[in-house]
Chain A
Amino acid sequence: MTEKQNEAARQDDTGALSDLIVCPSCDALYKVAEVPTGGRARCGRCGHSLMAPRENAMARIVMLAATSLVLMTAALFFPFIEITAGGITRRTSVLDAALTFSQSLSLPLALAVAAFIIVLPVLRLLAIVYALAPMSLGWYAPRHARTALRLAEEAKPWAMAEIFILGVAVALVKIAGLAHVGLGAAFWALALLVLVNILNDNFMCRLTLWRTLEQRSRS
């Protein structure tokens, strides 16, 4: 049997339900149609993007996620801001900023900030790479790929690296009167990271990705 026939047989196994698609935001029910690569199918009622197959989408998503991971490492450990006042220069890294609350009354806040700007973004990227990298090489999806991808999806609103960037900019202005302030390497790494993430989000059509994952899973 050829690859295509194989796939068709597997779809028959799971029944007609997998030929249907439900709009996640308005519950409209559609029959899956063939969407040309580069095209986009939207929900006729609410406009939610339903299918948007892209050429090499899997490989690109994995590459962009890996790029983000490298940038994230740089962003974490290099200073993102340096401040000179009275001859003393002080550099602060993202880690410092996350841990600063721990010295005061608000330990829970420290944990939350660390989770929002470090832990969740990193875990999301790792989960995406883990789930999709084997498939981008043409292999089957790894074990628990579905769980990893679902968690990455659910953690998305809570990963706030890009908001932190804007926070840095605001803090710079606030402190400009007190001292001389400069931007460190990590700031640019973070700014780049935000761009890569925006690219990635545009690329990642959620529902298309899930269909592919389902077709490539060993059941």
Chain B
Amino acid sequence: MAHARTTQPVLTAQKAGLLGCRICGRANPGAAQSCSRCGAALHRPGGLQAVMAWLLAGLVVYIPANTYPMLRTKMLGEETDSTILGGAIDLAHHGSWGVAGIVFVASILIPIAKFITIGYLALAVHRRWPMRGRLRFHLYEAVEFIGRWSMIDVFVVAILVALVQFNLAATIAPGIAAVSFALSVIFTMLAAQAFDPRLIWQSADTDTE
């Protein structure tokens, strides 16, 4: 029955000639530029260009984030660089499986899953692939919710650098990857925000009509 409900045609604000505010839920006249309740700029559910642009930007900076060192550790004159993946593997070698898992999931699994999911959503909307149930919407919700957690590795670097700075035995400096990884997370968050979830439902509506 749950599926039957989702395929029923639903009266949307757009069909009623109105424009819904995505911040406060106010119905505005179709020609309005900003919401009369909260003042937010109103957007018609529109293109995917911004989504793709941010996604590509995120993908581009994700490459140096993985190939360049995230952390440069200098210990007793010996300098070692570690990349994101290397850091997770090191942790696993030391037996901290749980933390290695967190780092691996937050900095490798989540970003890659995010690229794939946003790409899939944009493509599905663009090509009007038929929709089964609420799967796409749940994917979108998951990406919106989980995306920010990738930032954890950047914070770890900041904390480590702050802690070890004045200790003479070891120094830790951030590598280029720290910057590019932070940028990658920011860009993909912007891509997820630029994606209008109403488009997911719009393609479902046209299916049933």
Nearest A-chain residue to B96, judged by Cβ: A173
Write out the residue numbers on chain A whose beta carbons fall within 8 Å of the beta carbon of B16: 29
> Are B158 and A101 in contact, with the CB atoms below 8 A?
yes
Q: Using C-beta atoms within 8 Å of the partner chain, give the interface range for chain B.
A: 35 or more
Q: Assuming A28-B13, A167-B152, A206-B25, what are 15 further A-B pairs, CB within 8 angstroms? A: A22-B26, A23-B25, A86-B167, A100-B161, A109-B179, A146-B38, A150-B24, A163-B152, A167-B156, A170-B152, A171-B155, A171-B160, A174-B156, A210-B37, A211-B24
- Encoded as 1 (CB less than 8 Å from any B CB) or 0, chain A from 167 to 210 comes to 11111011101110000000000000000000000000011001
Interface positions of A from 46 to 103, Cβ below 8 Å from B: 46-47, 50, 81, 83, 85-86, 88, 90, 92, 96-101, 103
> Are A98 and B6 in contact, with the CB atoms below 8 A?
no
> Are A17 and B197 in contact, with the CB atoms below 8 A?
no
Nearest B-chain residue to A206, judged by Cβ: B24
28 contacts between A and B (CB under 8 A): A17-B27, A24-B25, A25-B197, A27-B12, A27-B201, A28-B10, A28-B11, A29-B27, A45-B10, A46-B137, A83-B164, A85-B169, A92-B159, A98-B158, A100-B165, A101-B174, A104-B161, A109-B178, A113-B182, A146-B39, A157-B148, A158-B148, A158-B189, A167-B153, A170-B103, A171-B156, A171-B159, A174-B99
B126 within 8 A of A: no
B57 within 8 A of A: no
- Encoded as 1 (CB less than 8 Å from any B CB) or 0, chain A from 158 to 170 comes to 1010011011111
Interface positions of B from 1 to 51, Cβ below 8 Å from A: 5-6, 10-16, 18, 20-29, 36-40, 45
> Are A113 and B158 in contact, with the CB atoms below 8 A?
yes
Interface positions of A from 103 to 160, Cβ below 8 Å from B: 103-106, 108-109, 112-113, 116-117, 146-147, 149-150, 153-154, 157-158, 160
**A179 to B166 Cα, complex, angstroms:** 13
> Are A29 and B18 in contact, with the CB atoms below 8 A?
yes
With A150-B38, A173-B91: A22-B169 Cβ-Cβ less than 8 Å: no
| A to B contact number (C-beta, < 8 Å) | 213
Write out the residue numbers on chain B whose beta carbons fall within 8 Å of the beta carbon of A147: 39
> Are B38 and A29 in contact, with the CB atoms below 8 A?
no
Write out the residue numbers on chain B whose beta carbons fall within 8 Å of the beta carbon of A101: 158, 161, 174, 178
Nearest B-chain residue to A113, judged by Cβ: B158
**A28 to B5 Cα, complex, angstroms:** 13
B14 contacts which of A27, A92, A103 (Cβ < 8 Å)?
A27
Smallest beta-carbon distance B145→chain A, Å = 9
**A179 to B26 Cα, complex, angstroms:** 56
